[in-house]
Structure 1
Amino acid sequence: MSGGGAGASRSDARRNRALVLQAARSAFAEGGLVVTLEEIARRAGVGAGTVHRHFPSKERLFAAAVTDRIRLFADTAQDLSDVTEPGEVFFRFFASVARLATENRAVGEALETPELSAAGGAAGAGREFVAAFEVLLRRAQEAGAVRGDVVIEDVRTLLVGCLAMERRRVAAGDTTGVPGRMTALARDALRPGRTVTELPSAPRRRNSVECGVCGAPVAVARTGRPARYCGGACRQKAHRARRARAQGRNADAASAGRQRP
């Protein structure tokens, strides 16, 4: 009898935890972290004490509620890491994350303030998301679709800015009827052909070497000539850029020669 009672108790506990988590996902998606545990308990149909037994703090419950969505972002980015059109895939993924995070306030707040989701499995999911997103960025840069002086922290900051702009656009009563308009404008800053300003270089660490094309760290050789680029792709890009500049100078010189009396 006691074994059956214990099993039923564990089953009830699992059911209550699932109810709380489901209610939390819905509530946080609508209102973000300002939603109270009492409101979540009401939606779940359980007492506040039940919520506290499963999740000692609202921050832990918040982290549990956003873990699945952040992990889905990470898994999607990993699945896209070997596509044949890395540039367009990168921009589409950026726009999709911005749209979903704008619609889901909990995910948006987790991306804006990573420490909110630093508990439990959410912390690992967040690291996986950033690492997978960085792979998409690197591949897009290697394909020449994203400017080479951008790093993953720039992309994350721009993404957070898109969330704020999209919310402001909606709150202000957007009249364009084009969802994601601000995100599309922001993404253009990442395209090499639209570059209007040169990003200031981050301070270099002592004894560090950065790729002359994409800025990625370059392994320092113990002997021989110091490396200037992180790999063959960037070396070829630099070679093509030097050749194009030389051809441009030759063309200018030839044009000037023809114009002399």
Structure 2
Amino acid sequence: MRADAQRNRSRLLAAAEEVFAAKGIGAPVDEVARAAGVGIGTLFRHFATKEALLEAVYVARLQRLTDQVSSLSGAQDPAAVLTGFFADAVRSSGTKMALAAALAEAGIAVDAANASYGSALRQELGALLTRAQQAGGIRGDIAVGEFISLLAGTSQAVSGHDDATRDRILNVVLDGLRAGDTR
């Protein structure tokens, strides 16, 4: 892909995520093109359908999360960055859940994206979780699969709540992840 085409694609993905987060997945694609500073034809050259754009946004989010966790792997306090990642992921989960629901509604399975990018994310999270456990900041009796289940469950649990309630729920879960008495 030419450099200008790659820049346009990146701008479209960033704009789509912002527009869909602000206005919901029902927002028209011409708003995405406008927000990216490109014409609607450019958008459709990159993404033949709105569903293709939604799927690309979803995949880009997974890739960004994977890259984020990978960049945290050398942190001095792995428990702090792991719990910070958890909190940030929960706070921004509404957009991801809406994208996944829209894709499922359109008949597009997110399983393939989850399988390819999800396994890389799982591996990176597992390495960071192990470091945080070895440092004594996260309870040692939780596996990466359970961590991911807690992340998904907490994201679902806070959906629809106001910020204060969401943060209380999040703090309870984070307190449960931290090392301490694990009777």
Q: Which amino acid aligns with 1:191?
A: R
TM (norm. structure 1) is 0.51
Q: Does 1:35 align with 2:29?
A: no
> Tell me, what secondary structure is at the counterpart of 1:159?
helix
Alignment CA distance shift 1:109-1:118 (3 Å): farther
Q: Contact (CA 8 Å) 1:87, 1:145: kept in 2 or not?
A: yes
Unaligned runs of 5+ in 2: none
Deviation at 1:77, TM superposition (A): 1.6
Q: Which amino acid aligns with 1:44?
A: A
> Tell me, what secondary structure is at the counterpart of 2:147?
helix
Alignment CA distance shift 1:19-1:90 (3 Å): closer
Q: Contact (CA 8 Å) 1:66, 1:117: kept in 2 or not?
A: no
1:191 aligns with one of 153, 156, 178: 178
* Number of residue pairs matched by the alignment: 172
Report the counterpart of residue 228 of structure 1 in structure 2.
none
CA distance in 2, matches of 1:56, 1:194: 53
Deviation at 1:100, TM superposition (A): 3.0
CA distance in 2, matches of 1:88, 1:68: 25
Query: Which residues in structure 2 correspond to 1:1-261 (within 5 Å)?
Result: 20-30=12-22, 34-35=25-26, 39-45=28-34, 46-47=39-40, 51-102=43-94, 105=95, 107-109=96-98, 115-116=109-110, 118-119=112-113, 124-170=116-162, 177=164, 180-195=167-182
Deviation at 1:93, TM superposition (A): 2.0
> Tell me, what secondary structure is at the counterpart of 1:84?
coil
Q: Contact (CA 8 Å) 2:19, 2:31: kept in 1 or not?
A: no
Q: Contact (CA 8 Å) 1:59, 1:116: kept in 2 or not?
A: no
TM (norm. structure 2) is 0.68
> Tell me, what secondary structure is at the counterpart of 2:155?
helix
Q: Which has the higher contact order (CA 8 A, sep 6+)?
A: 2
Alignment CA distance shift 1:85-1:30 (3 Å): same
Q: Contact (CA 8 Å) 1:20, 1:40: kept in 2 or not?
A: no
Q: Please report the RMSD computed on the Cα atoms of aligned residues, expressed in angstroms.
A: 3.7
